[in-house]
């Protein structure tokens, strides 16, 4: 089975997912997720992320057709973002695009609420595809890194950019605000109120 998804990265523009591999770890139900990413002035990375179990709220009263499949609505908060997904029980595998999984069927559409980007949507489904897929690529020229280390490096690069962009004589504190899907991670201190 192959599900071709596109990720909307900017309004009106689509970008094919470069490469990702995921599988459910039967020991703890976390999802080992591997993906590639490019960071300016740092190069290409092959990143490992152990995605925690996602707790979904399913609304069987709200449904829509996607590619001819009856899909039901599910919502969650994933790493600081409110997310809505539509999944179908007609394809009975608990899989989805990017880091999403854990529903009683295949996720064909998932998006961050109130945004016109951070959207993953199936554009075709082929249940009879026999393509050979390399589930253990090596990416020998890529830097292999854990997601926590990658996020720290990415945040540091963002802070360096902001520090260099400050007006001479000004003072202030740089606060890391991640504008996309993953705003906070499990290892980070939660803000106190």
From CA 193, how far away is CA 141, in angstroms rounded? 44
Please, where are the H alpha helices in 57-184? 147-165
Is domain 1-193 annotated with CATH 2.50.20? yes
Classify residue 51 by burial, with Cβ atoms within 10 Å: 0-12, 13-18, 19+. Answer: buried
pTM above threshold 0.85: no
Tokens of 53: 């179990």
Please, where are the H alpha helices in 19-83? none
Instruction: Output the pLDDT for position 83.
Output: 96
Q: What is the pLDDT along the chain (193 residues), one digit of tens a residue?
A: 444 454 444 444 444 445 555 655 555 566 788 888 888 889 889 889 988 889 999 999 999 999 999 999 999 999 999 999 999 999 988 888 888 999 999 999 999 998 877 788 888 888 887 777 777 777 888 899 999 999 999 888 877 766 655 556 655 555 556 777 888 898 887 655 4
Cα of first residue to Cα of last residue in the chain, in angstroms, is 46
Tokens of 133: 């897929």
Instruction: Output the pLDDT for position 9.
Output: 42
Of the candidates 48, 59, 56, 41, the one whose C-alpha atom is nearest the C-alpha of residue 22 is 48
Question: In the sheet where 31-39 sits, what is the strand order?
Answer: 20-24, 31-39, 43-51, 143-146
Instruction: Output the pLDDT for position 113.
Output: 92
Whether the CA torsion 131, 106, 11, 47 is positive or negative: it is: negative
């Amino acid at each position: 089975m192959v599900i071709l998804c596109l990720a909307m990265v900017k309004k009106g523009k689509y970008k094919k997912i470069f490469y990702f591999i995921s599988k459910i770890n039967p020991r703890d139900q976390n999802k080992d997720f591997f993906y590639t990413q490019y960071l300016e002035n740092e190069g290409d990375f092959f990143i490992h992320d152990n995605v925690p179990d996602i707790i979904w709220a399913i609304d069987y009263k709200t449904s829509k057709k996607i590619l001819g499949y009856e899909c039901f609505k599910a919502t969650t908060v994933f790493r600081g973002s409110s997310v809505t997904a539509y999944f179908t029980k007609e394809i009975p595998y608990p899989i989805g695009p990017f880091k999403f999984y854990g529903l009683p069927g295949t996720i064909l559409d998932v998006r961050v609420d109130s945004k016109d980007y951070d959207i993953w949507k199936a554009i075709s489904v082929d249940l009879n595809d026999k393509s050979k897929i390399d589930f253990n690529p090596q990416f020998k020229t890529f830097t292999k890194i854990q997601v926590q280390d990658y996020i720290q490096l990415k945040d540091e690069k963002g802070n360096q950019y902001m520090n260099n962009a400050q007006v001479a004589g000004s003072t202030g504190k740089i606060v890391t605000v991640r504008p996309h899907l993953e705003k906070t991670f499990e290892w980070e201190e939660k803000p106190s109120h």
